[in-house]
Structure 1
Amino acid sequence: MERFLLSNVTFIQYNMGQLFLPMDLEDLIPANHVVRIVNDTVERMDDELFFQYYPGGGRSSFHPKMLTKVLVYAYTQRIYSSRQIAKALRENIHFMWLSARQTPDFRTINRFRSERMKDIVEQVFAAVLELLIDEGYVKFEHYFLDGTKIEANANRYTFVWKKSTDRFQSRLQAQIRELLTEIEQANQQEQREYGERDLEELGKDQDQPITSEQLDTLVTSLEQQLSESPKNNPLRKAIRKIRKDYLPRCEKYEMQQATFQDRNSFSKTDPDATFMRMKEDHMKNGQLKPGYNVQVGTENQFIVGFSIHQRPTDTRCLIPHFEQMWERFGILPQSVIADAGYGSEENYSWLAHEEIEAFVKFNTYYQEQTKRFQNDISRFENWIYDAERDEYICAGNQRLTFRYERTVKTEAGYSSKKRYYQCDACGTCPLKNQCTKSKNNRQIGVSVTLQEHKQRARANLTSKRGRKLSVQRMVEVESVFGQIKGNRGFRRFLLRGIPKVTIEMGLVSVAHNLLKVAASLA
């Protein structure tokens, strides 16, 4: 067996005690690395933006610019946990360079993110957006809007449903009224004067619910009046039942109703989160999960606006989204491109009032282009409208005359006027079975304003510019969502509540934009 001789082998010198140049960590970082972009961007921001929220006094704080840089860079590197960020500050040369080798612990990082950043995250995002505009990356001309659902940091099975709360509350109201009736009868039998007037007032109006405040006042008054009565008084047991059982439940249901607002559900661990149907289904059975509807606007795949909503559908998110944008930046885009989820009369009217050009599809836009829709004689869109006589002529050559006009209010309070037309000769029409399933004459309700908005939307979407923007929309917002949720793995918030969730989404948006800048420079 041949023996290997070490004398014939040479090695590169290895000495852990040897000092090497350069000593500065900055020399080890490439010129166009994203960490440099983060550092330069935050350094350009005014110090007063950060200092105004520090009252002074006490122990010296870590510099807010340093912590902001660390957080933004961490989000570019798929590091979202404060513990993992604190670890990176001790081990990663990019983090060490950003922090000047300072090592705040995870509590400091988390406290800064959840408390200090809520005051400055929108201003940081605005400063980055201003940088993008100055550098020519975005022009705020075309605004591509879409929404995605991101899971909340909440238990998936601790939910509260409004229908259940309504049912429980109604049942409790019946039990309270029944017990108050028993107390009143016992009171009359004993011929004592305590709480009788209050009892009559509470039980008088059956349609008016008894509030916890009224119930508490009544019980307190009865307890005072019965303080000197015998302990075996039957009224004491009834009052104790109200105090220990009915009153806490009444307060709980009132608190839940206040939390619902206009929602159908909320999570016990994060009351701001609503249960929504999401594409990421861990149970593979269409289960609802607590989450937020995140509305994002992009241009050239840069995020130029974001907002957090509690409603699962996109329709009622458009107006609040732009209202928040106006409050934050004092600017609105020239045109909006969005899918059919935003095509409502309320949204069209608002965009027209703000003089924003709308390339927004409505729910039947694609159906109208199919032969099946065009050959459907039951659709009034395929009928002839006689503007002079204000009548619709159906496929059976019968006229539907105007009968009355009604104002319909949406859940958001928007008033829409509908004009109703009815035919008088459906009984003899051979096409009635194809036109309607009703035994009576055919009646339709038409919103003139909505039809005008739809006609304008068709013209915009079918124009050369509209077709180009529609194709571009397919690769705009969805690509951003793919980068955030797929490539960077941000599928679940770490913080709870809308204010803190807004902080996280702001950091995600800033990180995304700076990564795009770094990629373009590279």
Structure 2
Amino acid sequence: MYIQYTMDQLFLPMDLEEDIPQNHVVRIINDAVNRIDDKIFEAAYSGGGRPSFHPKLMTKIIIYAYSQRIYSSRQIAKAVRENIPFMWLAARQRPDFRTINRFRSERMKDVLEKVFTAVLELLVEEGYIKLEHYFVDGTKIEANANRYTFVWGKSVVKQQAKLEEKVKSLFTEIEEQELLEEAAHAGEDLAELGESNELTSAKLEKAVAKLEQKLQHEPKNKPVKKAVRLLRKDLLPRKHKYELQRKLLGDRNSYSKTDPDATFMRMKEDHMRNGQLKPGYNVQIGTENQFIVGYSLHQRPTDTRCLIPHLEKVKEMLGKLPKTIIADAGYGSEENYARLEQEDCEALVKYNTFHKENSKKWKQDISKIDNWTYQQESDTWLCPNGRTLHFLRERKKKNESGYEQQVRHYRSADCEGCPFRERCSKTNRNREIEVSMTFLRYKAEARKKLRSEEGRELSIRRMIEVESVFGQMKNNRGFRRFLLRGLPKVSTEVGWLSLAHNLLKRATLSQKIENGRSGIDS
């Protein structure tokens, strides 16, 4: 005998909600999005035209899709037609993949951060986060770009210098033949510009126009005619191209031709094991209790100069910064310490030599000024051999971001006959050091905090806070490459990922609490 099987028989109830478990993540997503104020979504719609799908419907299905490792708009549209939780969220409506993709990448680009903040407020109300401890770290995710079509900054500078030299030679050749007085003047101007690195396509265009104007009166002037043809068909277009490439590069060293916003970086996912650079973005996130509290996207491969713009975005989103910022040694610069002090945040940020200082090798290295003694009253440094280094001069050092560091130079009066000289210095001159007293103060404060009981506890916690979130994103949910292109769209994609992570984490904790209660009741 078999259980009755009839495909034509209708069954009650017809409500899809009956097939969804009570603690299912889709219910958490549905409840969280329903609690968001409808006015937040109004900015995404200008009005007019035919009615659109409700923004909360679209928001729900995209967040749920990202929580289920579904990132393609076509796959999301397919799930809305076939998957019961998706069908329930969409109330059996069926937006196509174009509508989903347009909503995800265009409509929500200026609204998603407000939605993210609204969900954070719900988590704060429910006690999941308190905005007290902010653990920040970064990871690199590959861009949706061709790995082998790239532009390198050094190559552009080199090629542009060669082109300017060729232009200068071309006009010099016209001068020498003394065929054209105006061309000679143009050549002199361009030669000077080439030497001062100020030759622009606009100025070159103006010089070529002068040559063309003269050709109208002397059409048989072959050298000038040949020069104009070369400039118009080759040199001037290349000059335009190099200027555009320099503009796209900015202060970066590379970019991808298929996604100019992406920079070539070293990735941990190196399947060929040859240190291959890949186009990607540096994703910075801050967490508390493994919930994502803030996120930002950067084109810079190193973390050091990402902290300040990241915190600025977090402050803009939340209206304030968390009380304590915890980060690893990749963020330990004087500029970052100064900014955290300015924002009145407690900084538990390691500097790059923090762990080395505890090693025996470091403590026995007499060349390190950390092992020397600073005499504040006389403003001198005392080396391990008792020689005194006196103040020499003070100067300002400005880094790429414009931050000015006050550096003081000290020099020993006499290092002659010192038994530690070979271990202390590589030169034959008297030992000279440069020190930022402000950075030394920041390092001393950070060292004291990090070696305290609370500091050690938070440092250990940092290793499992952010890294576990990256592990969830990359390994558990398989997000290792962006689907969209361009900095604004990719940043939006990180926002969808963060929303999905937070609500998935919220559902997991709710289920654990419910299971705990069931265990007590039983």
Shorter-chain TM-score tier: over 0.9
Q: 1:200 aligns with which of 181, 188, 194?
A: 188
Q: 2:289 aligns with which of 300, 304, 314?
A: 300
Distance 1:137 1:458 in 2: 30
Comparing 125-134 with 199-208, greater Cα deviation is found at: 199-208
Q: What whole-Å deviation, never above 9, does each CA across 1:88-123 have from its counterpart, x for those lacking one? A: 011101111111111111111111111101021111
2:509 is the alignment partner of 1:520:
yes
The Cα of 1:197 is off from its aligned counterpart by 4.0
Q: 1:474 aligns with which of 438, 463, 475?
A: 463
Cα gap change, 1:20/1:174 in structure 2, threshold over 3 Å: closer, same or farther? same
The Cα of 1:196 is off from its aligned counterpart by 4.8
| Alpha-carbon contact 2:374-2:380 (below 8 Å) kept | yes
| Alpha-carbon contact 2:44-2:108 (below 8 Å) kept | no
Q: Which amino acid aligns with 1:330?
A: G
Identity of aligned residues (%): 60
2:146 is the alignment partner of 1:158:
no
Cα gap change, 1:195/1:232 in structure 2, threshold over 3 Å: closer, same or farther? closer
**SS class of match (1:450):** helix
Q: Which runs of 5+ in 1 are unaligned?
A: 1-9
**SS class of match (2:109):** helix
2:256 is the alignment partner of 1:274:
no
Q: 2:363 aligns with which of 348, 370, 374?
A: 374
| Alpha-carbon contact 2:375-2:381 (below 8 Å) kept | yes
Distance 2:70 2:444 in 1: 48
TM-score (norm 1): 0.95
Q: Tell me which residue corresponds to 1:62.
A: 53
The Cα of 1:397 is off from its aligned counterpart by 1.2
Q: Map of 1:123-522 to 2, 5 A cutoff? A: 123-186=114-177, 188-189=178-179, 192=180, 194-205=182-193, 206-231=195-220, 233-522=222-511
Distance 2:486 2:85 in 1: 31
Q: What whole-Å deviation, never above 9, does each CA across 1:15-45 have from its counterpart, x for those lacking one? A: 0000001101011111121111111111111
Q: Which amino acid aligns with 1:203?
A: A
The Cα of 1:194 is off from its aligned counterpart by 4.4
Distance 2:221 2:413 in 1: 75
Q: 1:104 aligns with which of 69, 75, 95?
A: 95
Q: Which amino acid aligns with 1:155?
A: N
| Alpha-carbon contact 2:168-2:187 (below 8 Å) kept | no
What count of residue pairs does the alignment treat as equivalent? 510
The Cα of 1:304 is off from its aligned counterpart by 0.1
Q: Which amino acid aligns with 1:58?
A: G
Q: Tell me which residue corresponds to 2:518.
A: none
Comparing 384-393 with 292-301, greater Cα deviation is found at: 384-393
Q: Tell me which residue corresponds to 1:34.
A: 25
2:41 is the alignment partner of 1:50:
yes
**SS class of match (1:147):** strand
Q: Which amino acid aligns with 1:347?
A: N
Q: Which runs of 5+ in 2 are unaligned?
A: 512-522
Distance 1:52 1:434 in 2: 66
TM-score (norm 2): 0.95
Q: Which amino acid aligns with 2:290?
A: Q
**SS class of match (2:196):** coil
Q: Which amino acid aligns with 2:402?
A: G
**SS class of match (1:297):** strand
Distance 1:220 1:52 in 2: 49
The Cα of 1:193 is off from its aligned counterpart by 5.3
| Alpha-carbon contact 1:173-1:209 (below 8 Å) kept | no
Q: What whole-Å deviation, never above 9, does each CA across 1:363-402 have from its counterpart, x for those lacking one? A: 1100111111111111111112221111111111111111
| Alpha-carbon contact 1:142-1:337 (below 8 Å) kept | yes
Distance 2:191 2:399 in 1: 34
| Alpha-carbon contact 2:287-2:294 (below 8 Å) kept | yes
Q: Tell me which residue corresponds to 2:85.
A: 94
The Cα of 1:50 is off from its aligned counterpart by 1.4
Q: What whole-Å deviation, never above 9, does each CA across 1:245-277 have from its counterpart, x for those lacking one? A: 001110111111111111111111111111111
The Cα of 1:410 is off from its aligned counterpart by 1.1
